[in-house]
Amino acid sequence: MLKGNGMASLEELLEQKKAIEQQIEKATREARASALKQVKGLIATHRFTAKELGFAPVAKPAAAAAQALPVMYRGPEANQVWSGRGKVPGWLAEAEKNGKKREEFFVGKA
């Protein structure tokens, strides 16, 4: 209803706004559903892969082994560390070749 001055009341305007927002939501849902149907049809027709569409592969959870292991051996330089697993690092192999004992570099378990 319009008031005597030709203006709608605040309540009426809010009701109109709510009705328009509902219409927008409905139209958006319908447009999205239609677009998704078209896209799925094109993907099926042309047999696109996720990679071709620019989607990255789903990352697998990091393995427990990927976590940093505690340092068990430390060389004379700050960056010379080894967990005691895997291939013996060059700095330690070289030190052993020069007569040093591995135990000299042992710092213990974390």
- Ordered DSSP codes for 76-104: SSTT-EE-S-SSPPHHHHHHHHTT--GGG
Domain that holds residue 97: 64-105
Count of domains forming the chain = 2
Same domain, 28 and 43: yes
Q: Is the pLDDT of residue 65 over 60?
A: no
Q: Residue 73 is inside which H or E element, if any?
A: strand 73-74
The reply to whether 82 falls in a domain is yes
The reply to whether 110 falls in a domain is no
Q: Count the helix, strand and coil residues of the chain and give each as a percent rounded to the nearest 5.
A: 45, 5, 45
**What is the chain's mean pLDDT, rounded?**
88
Same domain, 10 and 45: yes
In this predicted structure, what is the pLDDT of residue 110? 47
Same domain, 52 and 85: no
The reply to whether 14 falls in a domain is yes
Same domain, 80 and 46: no
pTM above 0.75, yes or no: no
Same domain, 6 and 43: yes
Same domain, 48 and 25: yes
